[in-house]
Amino acid sequence: MALCPFGIGASYRADYTPAGAAPSAACGTPLPTPAVHLAGRGAASFLLRARGSTPAALPRIPRYPALSCTIGGIQTTPRRKELPVATPPRGSSHPGPTGAEREGGDYLDEVYPTGSEDLDRVIDAAVSMFAADGFAATRLEAISKVSGMSKRMIHYHFTDKLGLYRRALARAMESISPPVEVMGRSYAVPVEGMRRFIDAIFYRFQDNTAAVALMLRENLDNVLDPSETAALSGHSDALLHMERLLLLGQDSGAFRPGISAADVMLLVSSVCVYRIANHKASLALGQMKLTNQRNTEGLRRMTIDMVLGFLTSNIPDSGYPSYLEATSKPDAQAPKQADAYAIEAPEIY
């Protein structure tokens, strides 16, 4: 009996005899219909029957490399569309191929598309594991084991580990943004609207600590190019909503001028990130556990009061439009005009 080289780590058996098996015409004595069960790593399981004896009712999938093996003295060579389907590949929620899928395509990934819930499970697992171990130490085999999707399917959907890391970082940025229903509300009183909005941001940071930890790691490890991380920003809608609240409060006289949405976001994120990034240092230096319920509630109230006090204080206007300024792309270097009144530093010999 020969071992068929199908995939990696293939196994086989020939003890399956279907009910009502007819004797083979190739031998003088009645023989059960021979069969081979092949299980390639990360692939579907197939039931290969003897040539010409495959029931027509079984579904078919497109052709794979021809297998030739001898079972019970019978030479079997599967032809095109002679591979009945047993089970879909591991990690797929698809129940099985349809007629159109059986006719077209040459790969299992096309026959068994992965559902969005499977991809979400892989991305969520990647966020947690990249945040805990970093990009270099995290292996796709570990993500495959946790998420339940085969490594081959992960490569199919995300290309490589770096592609999965980009998706995980984008998911992390989206996780800490307030939900759409919060940003869609309008408030007649700007102070109350700002209070509720800051409260929603704080809870998003608190409920997604792995997302915050992943962004902290990216700031330290610099896995992606700065241009890539800028394109992954998930705070644009939150900044626009905060800008509307600020303009409404400044027009009504409730908020002082000279403050932008980026200024307020810096205050909020500083406290929220400090709770996650420095909780061990606070526990070691000041015996203060920032992650317990009492101190988490205290930080929430501190964040709201800090922002509202900053917006409604009687500090004189400095004349600047904001405290922080976005970095613009550098223009072409223009020739500088000489300053007739400039004082040159003396040469030191």
Structure-token pair, residue 257: 């001028």
Dihedral sign for Cα atoms in the order 287, 288, 294, 298: positive
Each domain of the chain, given as residue ranges in start order, spans 1-89, 113-175, 177-312
Lowest mean pLDDT among 5-9, 92-96, 185-189, 319-323: 5-9
233: Cβ–Cβ under 8 A, 6 or more apart, which residues? 173
Neighbours of 19 (CB within 10 A): 4
200: Cβ–Cβ under 8 A, 6 or more apart, which residues? 178, 179, 182
* The model's pTM: 0.62
Taking only the tens place, the pLDDT of each residue in 97-128 is 444 443 433 334 443 456 788 999 999 999 99
Q: Do domains 113-175 and 177-312 have the same CATH topology?
A: no
Domain 113-175 has CATH 3.30.930.10: no
Residue 36: in which H helix or E strand, if any?
A: strand 35-39
pLDDT value of position 47:
38
Taking only the tens place, the pLDDT of each residue in 237-261 is 888 999 999 999 999 999 999 999 9
Spatial separation of the C-alpha atoms in residues 246 and 192, rounded to whole Å: 12
pLDDT value of position 75:
55
pLDDT value of position 318:
87
Domain 177-312 has CATH 1.10.357.10: yes
121, 147 in Cβ contact below 8 A?
Answer: yes
pLDDT value of position 187:
79
Taking only the tens place, the pLDDT of each residue in 304-338 is 999 999 999 999 888 999 999 987 654 445 445 55
pLDDT value of position 15:
41
pLDDT value of position 73:
56
Spatial separation of the C-alpha atoms in residues 12 and 296, rounded to whole Å: 58
Provide the mean pLDDT of the chain.
73
Structure-token pair, residue 56: 């027509």
pLDDT value of position 300:
96
Spatial separation of the C-alpha atoms in residues 254 and 313, rounded to whole Å: 10
pLDDT value of position 328:
64
User: What is the DSSP secondary structure assignment for residue 255, as one 8-state letter?
Assistant: S
